[in-house]
Structure 1
């Protein structure tokens, strides 16, 4: 019997991760933050790699190839922010690829396409000199304007063609680094990136750059009519961030109380920034597709997590079909590294991906029992279900009664969204539920919205466009007749970041939605990540129990075991 071929991808940027392919298919993957419990953790990759090896039950010697990627570095085999797992061995071989190439391969590897165009837009990619040291054969594809400059340039956006095996760069844009400045509105890395602009405005509004997605949630509360100036300009198909808009923003937030005092002002700023990004993304991608037409597009990079811009991009119909990479941020770099190793370096055929994003390991009933042994857990009522139908029926009834449920099932999702494996679930229309979860369970800002998870075949009933959105990465509009029933998952402007649920890779969550529909008449649940503000999504039963204990969650479901607070 032929031994399987394992390829390991490792991302050492912020939001570090590791992914293991087995014969071209993902068998396990994890973001480092889920293990270290430090939000956006990166750097040394030992924790994430060891998790993958242990989950698959293999040793490092069983891995045929390692592909790695780190921004501004080409990591040493032995040490990178500490000792690495490769330090005592010459094998397996390690190769390096650029930041944008890793993003691009993460998209094509998981996409349903055998051939397509690929767009990468983010905050900052690899420096040009490092890019050329890793991919010298691509120097011919780089505009001489960039090659002749002496200042440091970094990848800003990249456009590729995928032929089913390899990626060919068609248009790569680079930007100089931002200058040292005391200006609050200095872009964090490069001068002219869309992602950098959005992070800068997020910092202005919230005082941090850790969660730029909050800006998208704030924008619907605002009105940009008083901001009659542009943040971006286009020259010869290239996007540039202008400077003159910065003079209009002289009141940066200095904390949450200050933010709340001037909420309307910051909401207006957020609305303006969101609209600017939407226009910039659509203009940039339209330009690339006009130069290099294709009816299938993969879209990735950190900016591709903007669900509002994504929906407008889809509505613009510049491509027949667009695949939005679920792990489009830097957590997806390891995924792209692994696929590069399989497809490009080893020249092996692409294996069809099943659409799942759930790459974490499953915890056994024994591990759950061990986690429950702590005395603090004896205060809860515990039920063990041997029959799945009984478990699903019990949970659906409790949700319809207005209870909140921490839902811990199978291997965790890879990427920023909980999709029914590590989720907090609730009734989408129960009065006051949104405020309760934000304040008493998530411990986060009141304005933050929640997503509706809906049965795929019912999405058109509840939402105007009826988009297929399995990764919660596109917004839609709630139909007017369902605003009340879906009040906790419909934002102030009528929008909703929808997750469509199908049985193939989310069977238990699918069954729960079906049963909840029987109980309530609604085929929708409120779904948000099983964590609180500042905490990575829970990975282990112990972490789920900890969150259950410190929050106002009513019920915790650990596989077939149910805990309910007295």
Structure 2
């Protein structure tokens, strides 16, 4: 049975293909169109999935969509009626997208594919069922509690459910306008970051601040109950009547208007970030305790955009409420395309589910890959100088030598990752022991805020040497503390007193023996890697360990600020030439910046090559 899952028209559109329960392919549309968080119908992602599966549209046993547009319409209409004249801005800004796109999604998909598979109809899954399916079905658990938390899907914003063998059931639900995800996004917006992408920045900013506003948030914005359920005081939010998240009334609580995107970040934003992060963690932990109580399960699965809050995930793991935790690496809307397809296959079609393996996600290496012939043709056609290695082990050793010499390297190998995290196939890697590497990567290569932290990839067998973590974290979704013996003490309050709100001196302060991946609170967003996960990437780190004694590398996504992760060799080379990266690896090809035409170095290549 071949099932195609689609998410579209909200953010992070994607397509996924399931064959007899196995994930054949999955990718976000943004990687092909080069439009960050592309929300349009994922035409190119659909084509990629079909080509990978060797299928034509009429071969599909089912085509599934991850959201019920009629329930969304119900919520939208009732919200507008409730707001009355106050909803004029909301109607003006969202009417066409709802009535012109979402209600007619079946027609748009049929027009794209030519048909809706063998059955000639579109199967629609509720949004949080799609999230729950994406969390439970790929997990290694035969049964588990499930939590899904995001902004909103139809009516639901937060659910507790249970998965058992091939079935998923929602047991409890919190409905719009009460939303933990929208609270976090409102604070993201108020602090001057972009909603649906800037939440990572807010999470990264939180350790620089103090949770001074927790009581104010609890007293005025959110009422949290003992069981983790909650209610927002919507008086302070603008999202029920506008596409903006907050207005001046919200700002009145926090001594001023929202920060403009290009304005300096002040201690107020740092403290607000710390405060809303604290509140979010409290809700998640209370909810998890309730999920354990009402389901009796010992394992927990997570999805929804809030499940990408790896700091909260780390705190949840540390609480030991559950024996084990599995988080969908494409936890946001993109993963909904996978969840709805799996739900149709298992729950709706009654297919039996195999368990006992690590998981079904295949390390999330589910996107496009490129052959040596394709890459060499591109390089030769454009006169690009390279070295070709016949032996991947020798290439891994060469890369390790250059990393030890503090070269920064763009690594392009195997199939592209599904989800927002680069996991070694579309990554920028660097030496974690070098002071100033964090700011160099942020400012000279990623072109983003200097305070943004970087993740470490560590050999699975070595993780407990470096971090307070005693389990695998293959999808970079858990934050753990750096071992105390590796830390270098400093006084954050003193540094702020010396430098005001300037975070650069703090960023450059060496906080451990692996400073480039140690955040200001001595934590790190850990990715573990085993030889079975990714032999080439593992081999690079193993070779680096032999040279330096260090089993860790810096791993950040292969892109620059405002652009999606690279998908093709053309995009990888463009990013390489536009930044201060020293080395590019395209499968077996090693490309040095010093060997390239000096006239091309520093050029903006971003629009030079369109995806194939």
Scaled to the shorter chain, the TM-score interval is 0.7 to 0.9
- Of 406, 412, 424, 1:408 maps to 412
Contact 2:36 2:562 in 1 (8 A): yes
TM-score (norm 2): 0.81
CA distances 1:515-558 after superposition (whole Å, capped 9, x unpaired) = 11001110000000000111101111110011011011100000
> What residue ranges of structure 2 are gaps of 5+ in the alignment?
73-101, 237-249, 488-511, 595-612
Q: Deviations over 1:215-241 (max 9, x none)?
A: 010000001236532143235843112
1:84 paired residue number: 112
Q: Judging changes above 3 Å, is the alpha-carbon distance between structure 1 residues 87 and 219 closer, same or farther for their aligned structure 2 residues?
A: same
3-state SS, counterpart of residue 479 of structure 2: strand
Distance between the aligned counterparts of 2:125 and 2:181, measured in 1? Answer: 21
| Cα pair 1:35 1:48 within 8 Å, conserved | yes
CA distance in 2, matches of 1:434, 1:45: 34
Tell me the distance in 2 between the aligned counterparts of 1:331 and 1:516. 34
User: Is residue 11 from structure 1 mapped to residue 40 from structure 2 by the alignment?
Assistant: no
SS of the residue 1:372 aligns to: helix
Partner in structure 2 of residue 198 of structure 1: 184
1:134 aligned residue: none
Equivalent residue for 2:480, pick from 476, 483, 489: 476
- Aligned 8 A contact 1:78 1:86 in 2: no
Decide which of 427, 434, 441 is 2:431's aligned counterpart: 427
1:308 maps to 311
Distance in 1 separating the partners of 2:419 and 2:116 = 31
- Alignment counterpart, residue 113 of structure 1, candidates 138, 141, 154: 141
- CA separation in 2, counterparts of 1:10 and 1:354? 19
CA deviation profile, 1:429-468 (whole Å, cap 9, x unmatched): 1122111110111000000000010001100001123442
> What is the Cα deviation at residue 173 of structure 1?
2.2
Secondary structure (helix, strand or coil) at the match of 1:406 reads strand
Cα deviation for residue 276 of structure 1 reads: 0.9
Dislocated runs of 4+, deviation >4 Å: 87-92
Partner of 1:558: 586
CA separation of 1:244/1:44 partners in 2, compared to 1, >3 Å: closer, same or farther?
A: closer
1:288 aligned to which of 288, 291, 304: 291
Counterpart in 2 of 1:130? none
Which residue of 230, 233, 244 maps to 1:242?
233
Question: Residues 227 and 259 of structure 1: is their aligned pair in 2 closer, same or farther, counting only changes over 3 Å?
Answer: farther
The structural deviation recorded for 1:317 is: 1.8
Work out the CA distance in 2 between the residues paired with 1:86 and 1:124.
Answer: 31
| Residues 1:366 and 2:345 aligned together | no
CA distance in 2: counterparts of 1:235 and 1:482, whole angstroms: 39
Alignment correspondent of 2:27 = 30
CA distance in 1, matches of 2:57, 2:441: 43
Q: Are 1:216 and 2:203 an aligned pair?
A: yes
Is the CA contact (8 Å cut-off) linking 1:205 and 1:252 kept in structure 2? no
Deviations 1:96-137 (A, max 9, x none): 0000000000011210011111111111012xxxxxxxxxxx
Give 1 or 2: higher helix fraction: 2
| Distance change (3 Å), C-alpha of 1:383 and 1:125 | same
Instruction: Name the structure 2 match of 1:232.
Output: 222
Say which SS state the counterpart of residue 363 (structure 1) adopts.
coil
Q: CA RMSD, aligned part only?
A: 2.0
Residue-pair matches, total: 514
TM-score by length of 1: 0.87
Secondary structure (helix, strand or coil) at the match of 2:312 reads helix
CA distance, structure 2, for counterparts of residue 319 and residue 86 of structure 1: 46
Offset at 1:253? 4.2
- Cα gap change, 1:233/1:86 in structure 2, threshold over 3 Å: closer, same or farther? farther
Residue of structure 1 in register with 2:575 after alignment: 547
Q: Quick one: distance in 2 between partners of 1:471 and 1:228?
A: 34
Matched, 1:165 2:166: yes
